[in-house]
Structure 1
């Protein structure tokens, strides 16, 4: 189960109490994609950094993304890279087209809405400050993703109480089994 898994954190990275960090600690073979600048992301640079991380994998990895990391996964899928992912677990995708997005979009807008060329699952909240329920559902439909709504969970991050997130890990492990079957 601990094959190639790449963790794609979002804007400002995922701190030590974030669910992605807990997953990394429990699954040491999983790796976080490193970015030069988490505070001022540039789409082209982040896509190239993800492409290099995928190239370093033994096989097609599963992408475990949060927030802007979800949008990165979609931009990478549309980038023309010859590399492939086995699937993408996309939690709380930020709406970079929304006026509430916290920084300039630095090339991430407009939202990439092409169908993803791999299985994907979008996990969304009903009260996320960075994406409306309707937009999250629209992204899932456009990407060809299965959609799971987890109720009022904010941005599914540390501030919303999602540090150690056993339910999220359960959903991820089920997703990994499905894409590897």
Structure 2
């Protein structure tokens, strides 16, 4: 199983759980977005589509922040049925709300967020004090996407500053997609 790692705005740095997962597991592959500092939905979704096409099946997605919105848009508007069938599941961590004041002004095309059921299993993980997306927004997304919803409590944006280290709990949730079906 291949894990495609989808960081958000400005990529994930050295202490981020996504980067740590890549160091621990060679099957975790970062999707290299065309411009981390000026994200454009169309370019990011097409890049994800190419990464899924190049990966063997099954694929799981480990998305953080804007990577979550990229996943939702890709599944709703870009992916073919063949591509979607390759995806065993998606871990969607710290879903940002484009209407929040902290949402990056440099991000283009990520609103309104598609609120249609994802065609694969998914888990939305939220923090009760995430400055980029509140609990009500993440719950709305999880309900619309058909995702399991998990509240980590006060962990900020669930990034390197959250002190998760290798985040074994998140790795177990991700691995659970491979145990299905």
TM-score by length of 1: 0.92
1:115-171 Cα distance to aligned partner (Å, 9 max, x none): 111110001111111011111111100111011111111110012223422222232
Once the 2 structures are TM-superposed, how far is the Cα of residue 104 of structure 1 from its aligned partner?
3.8
SS, match of residue 7 in structure 1: strand
SS, match of residue 78 in structure 1: helix
17-26 vs 156-165, which deviates more? 156-165
1:45-92 Cα distance to aligned partner (Å, 9 max, x none): 000100000000111411110000000000000124211122111111
- Once residues 46 and 142 of structure 1 are traced to their aligned partners in structure 2, the CA distance between those partners, rounded to angstroms, is 22
- Once residues 50 and 174 of structure 1 are traced to their aligned partners in structure 2, the CA distance between those partners, rounded to angstroms, is 22
Choose the corresponding residue for 2:55, options 50, 54, 57. Answer: 57
- Once residues 178 and 153 of structure 2 are traced to their aligned partners in structure 1, the CA distance between those partners, rounded to angstroms, is 23
- Are positions 1:105 and 2:107 aligned together? yes
- Are positions 1:136 and 2:138 aligned together? yes
Choose the corresponding residue for 1:9, options 7, 10, 15. Answer: 7
Alignment of 1:41-80 (within 5 A): 41-80=39-78
- Residues 164 and 60 (structure 1 numbering): CA distance in 2 closer, same or farther, change over 3 Å? closer
TM-score by length of 2: 0.92
RMSD of aligned Cα (Å): 1.4
Choose the corresponding residue for 2:95, options 78, 90, 93. Answer: 93
- Residues 86 and 167 (structure 1 numbering): CA distance in 2 closer, same or farther, change over 3 Å? closer
4+ residue segments displaced more than 6 Å: none
Aligned residue in 1 for 2:153: 151
Once the 2 structures are TM-superposed, how far is the Cα of residue 4 of structure 1 from its aligned partner?
1.6
- Once residues 60 and 174 of structure 1 are traced to their aligned partners in structure 2, the CA distance between those partners, rounded to angstroms, is 13
Aligned positions, number: 177
- Once residues 159 and 67 of structure 2 are traced to their aligned partners in structure 1, the CA distance between those partners, rounded to angstroms, is 13
Could you tell me whether the CA contact under 8 Å between 1:157 and 1:163 is conserved in 2?
no
